[in-house]
Amino acid sequence: MPTQLTTAQHLAGLREAASAFTTYADRAGVDAPVPTCPEWTVLDLVAHQGMVHRWAAALVRGRHPDDDEVTGFEAAGRAAADPTGWLAEGVADLASALEAAPETLDAPVFLLDAPRPAAFWARRQCHETSVHAVDALAAALGRPPRADEVWLDPELAGDGIDELLGGFLTRPRSRLRCEEDALLVVRPDDVTDWWSVELGPRPARTTRHGGAEPPEADWELTGGAVELYLRLWNRTDAAGSEGPADQWRHLTAVRWS
């Protein structure tokens, strides 16, 4: 669904996340395991994220990298003498591409009810980088971080929740299903918006609400927006309540494209 933040806000979030990413990756070291991405090291994380930045920048500029080129992006990150420096170069180039993109940009998008392409890619890469910067923080800490250890503000976290629930969760490939219809409400206590998610044997249907009191739901997730952002993006050890919230970690793995 359309974002309520501006491209400038998303670019600021992208740059802040990239700065946090490099700081925590350097602190952890490239060989450190990433608790929130099992079987990955920090070098795997850096190479993946830098690949995504370069792939997205190419799309914004009107190119469509083939599989060999995308594989080459990641290989370059693994071979870089300074992996986090290589990551920072990719972020800077992506930000430049997004800043230069016209509002009428014609580029592919892959989420349902997405914003226009220029806004879509600024938003997507802001949250892509924020989530993986949280992974770098987890590597530095040796555990998933708490919400109060993360730099995100509630407004940006709420936007990331909106993208996940309204864009990713509603795709046909999403595996979060119920045999019978049920209602999940996600209600942060520090932003105005909340979300209702209609679940059933078909893809979920998400609606964003502002102001009005939520209806009675079968399951409800509440807390601060940053806490819910981490929980919904599976960057926490917190267990959910019985029902879809408890199945979330196993059924909502998000791909980068």
* 39-43, 113-117, 124-128, range with the lowest pLDDT: 113-117
**Quick one: pLDDT at residue 240?**
47
* Domains identified in the chain, total number: 2
From residue 6, give the alpha-carbon distance in Å to each of 105, 168, 188, 190, 195: 16, 20, 21, 20, 20
Considering the domain architecture, whether residues 116 and 219 belong to the same structural domain is answered as: no
Considering the domain architecture, whether residues 28 and 97 belong to the same structural domain is answered as: yes
Residue 256 inside a domain? The answer is no
Considering the domain architecture, whether residues 26 and 131 belong to the same structural domain is answered as: yes
pLDDT digits (tens, 9 = 90+) for 184-218: 999 999 999 999 999 888 888 999 998 778 888 88
From residue 116, give the alpha-carbon distance in Å to each of 111, 123, 196: 11, 11, 24
Indicate the pTM of the whole model. 0.92
How does strand 205-210 pair with strand 182-188?
unpaired
Contact 86, 144 (CB under 8 A): no
Considering the domain architecture, whether residues 100 and 20 belong to the same structural domain is answered as: yes
Considering the domain architecture, whether residues 131 and 188 belong to the same structural domain is answered as: no
pLDDT digits (tens, 9 = 90+) for 52-103: 999 999 999 999 999 999 999 999 999 999 999 999 999 999 999 999 999 8
Contact 144, 34 (CB under 8 A): no
**What are the φ and ψ backbone dihedral angles of 29, each rounded to 5 degrees?**
95, 145
**Quick one: pLDDT at residue 191?**
95
Rounded CA gap, 181 and 253, in Å? Answer: 22
Residue 228 inside a domain? The answer is yes
Amino acid letter for position 132: H
Considering the domain architecture, whether residues 12 and 121 belong to the same structural domain is answered as: yes
Considering the domain architecture, whether residues 103 and 13 belong to the same structural domain is answered as: yes
Contact 221, 240 (CB under 8 A): yes
Considering the domain architecture, whether residues 52 and 89 belong to the same structural domain is answered as: yes
Considering the domain architecture, whether residues 54 and 119 belong to the same structural domain is answered as: yes
Whether 250 has a pLDDT exceeding 70, the answer reads no
Could you tell me the residue range of the domain that residue 118 belongs to? 7-145
Whether 254 has a pLDDT exceeding 50, the answer reads yes
Residue 164 inside a domain? The answer is no
pLDDT digits (tens, 9 = 90+) for 149-190: 999 999 999 999 999 999 998 887 776 777 788 899 999 999
Q: Which of 85, 62, 53, 112 is nearest to 256 (CA)?
A: 53
Residue 160 inside a domain? The answer is no
**Quick one: pLDDT at residue 228?**
96
Considering the domain architecture, whether residues 11 and 95 belong to the same structural domain is answered as: yes
From residue 237, give the alpha-carbon distance in Å to each of 92, 250, 254: 32, 13, 17
Considering the domain architecture, whether residues 40 and 121 belong to the same structural domain is answered as: yes
CATH number at residue 16: 1.20.120.450
Rounded CA gap, 107 and 3, in Å? Answer: 17
pLDDT digits (tens, 9 = 90+) for 33-42: 999 999 999 9
* Residue 222 falls in which region: left (phi positive, over 0), alpha (psi -120 to 50) or beta: beta
Residue 245 inside a domain? The answer is yes
Residue 151 inside a domain? The answer is no
**Quick one: pLDDT at residue 256?**
45
